[in-house]
Amino acid sequence: MSEFPSREPHAECPEASRSRIPVDVQQRHPRLTIPFAPSRLRVSELPSRLRVSEFPSRLRVSEFPNPDTPLPNCGHSGFDIITEIVIFVTIAGARSKCGIPHVLRRCTDPLVLITLNTVMIFKTFPGGVHPAEQKELSEHCAFEIMPDPDVVILPLSQHLGKQARPLVEKRAVVVKGQVVAEADGFISAPVHSPVNGTVKSIGRESNASGFVKDALVIIPTAPAEGEEAPAPQFLPPLDAATVSPADIRARVKEAGIVGQGGAAFPTFVKLSPPEGKTIEVVILNGCECEPYLTRDHRFMLERPEAIVGGLQLIMRALGVRKGAIGIENNKPDAIEAMRRAVQGVEGLEVVALKTKYPQGAEKMLIKAVNGREVPVGKLPLDVGAVIQNIGTAVAVFDAVTKGEPSLTAALTVTGHGIRTPKNLIVPVGTPLRNVIAYCGGLTDDAAKVIVGGPMMGVAQHDLSAPVMKATSGIVVLTKAQARAEEETACLRCGKCIDACPLHLQPTRLARTSQLGMLEQAEEYGITVCMECGSCAYTCPAHIPLVQWLRLGKQKVIQMQRKRSATA
């Protein structure tokens, strides 16, 4: 049996001020209730005497603060989805990772010192899967800045929306930071030259999404002997403390910043919500739920102030007073770093989330952070939330405070098929081949090169495709990992239905897609699918469910277009 810190520190306990308290196994204690009260709680407000045997068995032990530490995330409505409450304590002076009951069972001494450290409440959504994380390959590698490559391939469409319109001719000399293509329309983004160099050609080049699209090819030029490189054309720095919302939006637009979460939606558009929508909260996505990738993790460790600064700028641009940073609990150091960075900043909080794929999907993140479900066919905006990626916040901060446009991509180069996994800052347009070479090259058994994460990324056939603004990683798998299991008939085990975070029936949808039963596919919600891959990950029959769903989704969307055209 243990005793949690009571409201008055024990006079007889010299370490009471550090919340060390004696445990008397002989004493009788009232039963434990973990308070799910919808108000902010402090550690000291937990029932002062708790019976350890009545702890949920999942309680685990480690970490630290004082009794006045607020219990994180007790101020929201989303309590139905809390899956785990973890109380971190130190027992008998030793940090322990096993459960309190287990530790106490091993302790023969009835008087054991227990230090209550942190109470963490992990939230999540129903469904999802747990792929092997594989983050240890690169999570301890600090960002390195990769030097300019020998060639830069700059796709004009590195964002969702209309491709940019080129402003330079062949053989033009360009300077780092110069706008080489301008935004064309509202949903579009300008492209800047990431290097000093000469435009070699403007033509069709393959890109990492597997398409061949218009791109500028620039040959970087080193400054001649004894000469200074021309100064990069950055935008004038603005004062983050006083900049106006309109100026922030204008800067984000000019800097060509696109969402770093994968879809590459122009950030400026997200900062200009339509009239009449009220936004309550900006949520930064620090989940990084894709296995292998550690870019956002490194950002949170290395640039927490930039992230908080960027978040505040985004909040100001939207006129929002509340900000949250959602981080999966497999990154305790990032949670700690971000908690330190938001300390004393009003309106900001860090929300620890359960590690589960796809926790970082917009809808899942909102569900976990404030318990709201984005209605089918609607946007996060419609439930008062705007989601931005950690990397986007950093880019916004740099664009405003340093005037730096979107010239580089931060990415994780990792996997068992790469010799030296690294986290890199790479000039946009650098061919994958150069990045891989910079990381020691491929191993002999490397077989699959994926741009993005292994759950949603795109397998590459051409390593001369360039890194783009929103490229978050290059994952190289070995032959053994890339080996495909034989596909069998569907066993109707229902594992895909359990795994689908959107509560669809992937097996049924795949079947309708195969048979071309588009009306039924529509009725069963095929267009809701976000292609996260949880179903295909879990399928014992190894049916390429995502492939069928993607195909069916396209056909249903075509059918809907045709229907509305004739209507």
Partner 1 sequence: MSTVTVSEAGGGRDLVITTSPHMHSRWTTRQVMWFVVLSLLPCVISAVVFFGVGQLLVIGSAVLFAVGTEALIQYLTKKPIAIRDGSAVITGLLLGLVLPPNFSPVFTALGAIFSIAVGKMVFGGLGYNIFNPALAGRAFLQAAFPVAITTWTMPHFAVDTVSKATPLAAFKFDHVLTGMQPLVVGNVGGSLGETSAIAVLIGGGFLLVTRVANWRIPLSMLVGVLLFGGIIWLIDPAAPNPLFHVFAGSFLFGAMFMATDYVTSPVTNLGLWIYGMGISLIIVLIRVYGGLPEGVMYSILFMNAFVPLINRYTRPKIFGEVA
Question: Hey, which residues between 373 and 392 contact partner 1 (CB under 8 A)?
Answer: 373-376, 378
> What sign does the CA torsion over 513, 518, 523, 529 have?
positive
> What does DSSP assign to residue 154?
E
The pair phi, psi for residue 563, each rounded to 5°, is: -65, -45
By beta-carbon proximity to partner 1, the closer residue of 107 and 459 is: 459
Q: Residue 307 in contact with residue 284, Cβ under 8 Å?
A: yes
Q: Where are the alpha helices (DSSP H) in 371-411?
A: 390-401
The single residue among 156, 248, 442, 467 that binds partner 1, judged by CB under 8 A, is: 442
Question: Binder to partner 1 among 11, 241, 484, 565 (CB under 8 A)?
Answer: 484
Tokens of 313: 């700028």
Q: Which residues contact 541 (CB under 8 A, 6 or more apart)?
A: 487, 488, 489, 490, 491
CA-CA distance, 387 to 152, in Å (whole number)? 31
CA 453 to CA 558: how far, in whole Å?
Answer: 28
Q: Does 462 bind partner 1 (CB under 8 A)?
A: yes
Whole-angstrom distance, CA of residue 326 vs CA of residue 288: 10
Q: Which stretch binds partner 1 (CB under 8 A): 143-151, 182-190, 338-346, 444-452?
A: 444-452
Residue numbers 493-532 binding partner 1 by CB under 8 A: 493-495, 497-498, 501-505, 507-508, 524-525, 528, 531
Residue 354 Cβ, how far from partner 1 at the closest point, in Å? 17
Nearer to partner 1, 131 or 310 (CB): 131
Q: Does the protein bind partner 1 through residue 456 (CB under 8 A)?
A: yes
Main-chain phi, psi angles of 446, to 5 degrees: -65, 140
Which stretch in 115-123, 127-135, 183-191, 341-349 sits in contact with partner 1 by CB under 8 A? 127-135
Nearest to 152 by CA among 215, 92, 100: 215
The yes or no reply on residue 457 touching partner 1 (CB under 8 A) is yes
In angstroms, the first-to-last Cα distance of the chain is 71
C-beta of residue 164 within 8 angstroms of C-beta of residue 190: yes
Is residue 223 near partner 1 by the rule CB under 8 A?
no
Choose the binding region for partner 1 from 30-38, 62-70, 320-328, 535-543 (rule: CB under 8 A).
535-543
Q: Which long-range contacts (CB under 8 A, 24 or more apart) does 176-181 make?
A: 176/230, 176/232, 176/233, 176/407, 177/232, 177/233, 177/234, 177/404, 177/405, 177/407, 178/233, 179/256, 179/405, 180/154, 180/216, 180/218, 181/154, 181/156, 181/216
- Site membership for partner 1, residue 485 (CB under 8 A): yes
Residue 438 interacts with partner 1 (CB under 8 A): yes or no = no
Give 43 or 137: the residue with its C-beta nearer to partner 1: 137
* Single-letter residue type at 307: I
**Quick one: 156 or 504, whose CB is closer to partner 1?**
504
Name the minimum Å distance from CB 499 to partner 1: 9
Which of 34-42, 90-98, 238-246, 533-541 is the region at the interface with partner 1 (rule: CB under 8 A)? Answer: 533-541
Cβ atoms within 10 Å of 513's Cβ, excluding its own: 24
- In whole angstroms, the minimum distance from the beta carbon of 217 to partner 1 comes to 15
Helices 304-318 and 390-401: crossing angle in degrees, nearest 10, is 80
- For the chain, what's the residue count? 567
Q: Min. distance of Cβ 504 from partner 1 in angstroms?
A: 6
Site size toward partner 1 (CB under 8 A) is 72
Q: How far is the CB of 207 from partner 1 (least distance, A)?
A: 13
Residue from the set 29, 76, 422, 448 that interacts with partner 1 by CB under 8 A: 448
- Positions in 540-559 near partner 1 (CB under 8 A): 540-544, 546-547, 550
- Residues 266-295 interacting with partner 1 (rule: CB under 8 A): 291
Position among 244, 464, 514, 560 found at the interface with partner 1 (CB under 8 A)? 464
- Site residues for partner 1, window 187-216 (CB under 8 A)? 206
The sheet with strand 408-414 has its strands ordered as 143-145, 422-427, 408-414, 473-478, 446-451, 458-459
| Residue 5 vs 358, nearer CB to partner 1 | 358
Binding flags for partner 1, 334-373, as an x/- string (CB under 8 A) = -----------------------------x---x-----x
Region of 125-133, 167-175, 329-337, 339-347 interacting with partner 1 (CB under 8 A): 125-133
The mark string for 298-337 relative to partner 1 (x by CB under 8 A, - otherwise) is ----------------------------------------
Q: Which residues have CB under 8 Å from 280's CB, separation 6+?
A: 320, 322, 384, 385
What would the two tokens of residue 180 be? 């080489």
Cβ 288 vs Cβ 260: under 8 Å: no
Span near partner 1 by CB under 8 A; candidates 51-59, 103-111, 216-224, 448-456: 448-456
- Interface positions, 395-414, toward partner 1 (CB under 8 A): none
